[in-house]
Amino acid sequence: MFKLSILSKMTKLIKSISSEIVLKEEVSKILYNAAKQTWCNRKGKLGELIVPFDDFSGVRAIDVSNLPYGTLMNIGFDGVGTKMELAERINDHRTIAFDLFAMVCDDAIVRGAEPVLIGSILDVNTLGKGNNNFIEQVKQLTEGYINAAKSANVAIVNGEVAELGNRIGGFGSNFFVLNLAHNYISLNLREDNWKDIQLLSSYLIETNEKLKNKIYKQLKVPEKGFIDNADSLRTLNYNWGAAVVWFAKKERLFTGREIQAGDYLVGLKETGFRSNGLSLVRKIMRTNHGEDWHNQIYDGESLGKLVLEPSRIYSGAVVEMFGGFQDEPKAKIHGVVHITGGGIPGKLGRVLKPSGLGATISEPYSPTKLMLYCQDKGNIYDREAYKTWNMGPGMIIITPEPEKVMKISNNHNIESKVIGQVESKPGIRIFDAGVYSKNKYLHFK
């Protein structure tokens, strides 16, 4: 009897391990098939993939044997940051790849490089087990994967997925649910229900599914309601980072010294926060609307969906402007500014630093309604907002040929306009369009 019991447990363990292996293989195939759909983006260009063995563990490479003297290559790394929690909150992961690709590809073009290949690593808490898996969420990620790669005009060369357990947290994770339980118990524990609360605690920590289900049946309605609600919050928890391989011609690199007084600043519009300043946004939302702030409706849409607005990828359009690695330029570009952490003052100031010049933004974009809402609810003064969020443009092109730049932007369905000019006087001056605007300029050194 004892031997049969051990044998039964070993059989169940083997079945469980086999199920997990099959699940991981299925996820790998999903990611691989998504990557394959992006290889056509580089057809006939530098970065066209050579695939001797067409399977997800096969060799994939590009031919660089005939690249001319002065060809430069590098790799850039970045990640989505805390914006993934928004996807977890509303269980919609279809746009996160746009944020990931925007962070790596749009950084590459700042120096005059053309992003070519993308590789990523997806670290997850768990892929689930059996029918309780997160395959649907993985498919949502790859839907964005394909669309973002097309927008950036890059090919996805490889990707890895790893289950890291409790090292990956987030909304809906075990740690998150246990915190909810702690709060629930603190508020509801009474002398007449302590046995039910004890059962609830046992249910949350029990790993034996058969015993767990038995405990659930013994729970009374209030505790069952909490369990049902907590289980409904569980979703794929992950961190997603990427590397981009870029190529450039040495003579086409932007050094900052090409910039001249009188150059125009063409702003490329952004409709969301991109992937920066989200920790502050979440703090403001929690303070004003509580833990379930993402379900609150603002301007006809849930706050969660509004904050999750995907980053615009500008690299495809901008590469066309300066010609990338191998094409003829269609506009004279003297500098590219990617508005991420540090906002316009920090990023524009960095690009202007080698020339010693300054700039005045006299016709700024108005920040999105949601940014102004966050400023108002969080008491974020305009100067701080401009140093934290993009406040309108996600990218600024420095050019003596603004009409050509705006025409190409329009062809890529990117709204653009002249927002200011480069000046000989150092420093950044921005006509304030924030929520506390008093029709004056903000000055930044």
Instruction: Provide the CATH number for the domain around residue 115.
Output: 3.30.1330.10
DSSP assignment letter at 95: S
Looking at the structure, do residues 149 and 45 belong to the same domain, yes or no? yes
Looking at the structure, do residues 143 and 292 belong to the same domain, yes or no? no
Average pLDDT in the chain = 90
Q: Which whole number is the average pLDDT over 346-361?
A: 97
Q: Detail the DSSP E strand segments found in 25-154.
A: 49-50, 61-62, 71-79, 114-124, 128-129, 132-133
12 found inside a domain = no
Looking at the structure, do residues 399 and 303 belong to the same domain, yes or no? yes
Q: Report pLDDT digits (tens) over 126-164.
A: 998 777 889 999 999 999 999 999 999 999 998 889 999
Q: How many CA atoms lie within 13 A of 256 on its CB side?
A: 13
Question: Looking at this protein, which amino acid is placed at residue 84?
Answer: M
Q: Report pLDDT digits (tens) over 231-266.
A: 878 889 999 999 999 999 999 999 999 999 999 999
Predicted confidence band of residue 19 (pLDDT cuts 50, 70, 90): low
13 found inside a domain = no
Q: Residue 126 phi/psi, 5° resolution?
A: -160, 155
5 found inside a domain = no
Question: pLDDT value at position 170?
Answer: 87
DSSP per position, 173-222: SHHHHHHHHHHHHHHH--TTTHHHHHHHHHHHH---HHHHHHHHHHS-HH
Question: pLDDT value at position 200?
Answer: 83
Last residue of a domain, one of 186, 219, 253: 253
Question: pLDDT value at position 195?
Answer: 85
Looking at the structure, do residues 193 and 243 belong to the same domain, yes or no? no
Looking at the structure, do residues 94 and 184 belong to the same domain, yes or no? no
- Partners of 396 in the β-ladder: 267, 337
Looking at the structure, do residues 323 and 394 belong to the same domain, yes or no? yes
Q: How many CA atoms lie within 13 A of 48 on its CB side?
A: 6
Predicted confidence band of residue 3 (pLDDT cuts 50, 70, 90): low
More confident residue, 288 or 180: 288
Predicted confidence band of residue 10 (pLDDT cuts 50, 70, 90): very low
110: left (phi over 0), alpha (psi -120 to 50) or beta: alpha
Question: pLDDT value at position 8?
Answer: 54
Looking at the structure, do residues 245 and 382 belong to the same domain, yes or no? no
Instruction: Provide the CATH number for the domain around residue 352.
Output: 3.90.650.10
Q: Which whole number is the average pLDDT over 336-361?
A: 97
Record the pTM: 0.89
Last residue of a domain, one of 222, 253, 284: 253
Q: Is 183 exposed, middle or buried (0-12, 13-18, 19+ CB in 10 A)?
A: exposed
List CB contacts of 271: < 8 A, sequence separation 6 or more. Answer: 309, 312, 368
Question: pLDDT value at position 196?
Answer: 84
Looking at the structure, do residues 388 and 417 belong to the same domain, yes or no? yes
Residue 68 CA to residue 137 CA, distance in Å, equals 43
Q: Helices 96-108 and 135-152 sit at what angle, rounded to 10 degrees?
A: 30
227 found inside a domain = yes
Looking at the structure, do residues 228 and 154 belong to the same domain, yes or no? no
Burial 16-34 (b: 16+ CB within 10 A, else e): eeeebeebeeebbebbbeb
Looking at the structure, do residues 50 and 152 belong to the same domain, yes or no? yes
Per the structure, the complete domain to which residue 346 belongs is given by: 255-445
9 found inside a domain = no
The count of structural domains within the chain is: 3
Q: Which whole number is the average pLDDT over 299-305?
A: 95
Question: Looking at this protein, which amino acid is placed at residue 29?
Answer: K
Question: pLDDT value at position 58?
Answer: 66
Q: How many CA atoms lie within 13 A of 216 on its CB side?
A: 15
Residue 367 CA to residue 64 CA, distance in Å, equals 43
Q: Report pLDDT digits (tens) over 92-119.
A: 999 999 999 999 999 999 999 999 999 9
7 found inside a domain = no
Q: Report pLDDT digits (tens) over 28-87.
A: 889 999 999 999 999 999 999 888 766 656 678 888 988 999 999 999 999 999 999 999
Looking at the structure, do residues 131 and 34 belong to the same domain, yes or no? yes
Looking at the structure, do residues 325 and 424 belong to the same domain, yes or no? yes
% of the chain residues with pLDDT over 70: 94
Predicted confidence band of residue 209 (pLDDT cuts 50, 70, 90): confident
Q: Helices 209-218 and 194-205 sit at what angle, rounded to 10 degrees?
A: 160
Question: Looking at this protein, which amino acid is placed at residue 72?
Answer: L
Predicted confidence band of residue 184 (pLDDT cuts 50, 70, 90): confident
11 found inside a domain = no
15 found inside a domain = no
Predicted confidence band of residue 13 (pLDDT cuts 50, 70, 90): very low
Q: How many helices and strands (H and E) does the chain possess?
A: 15, 17
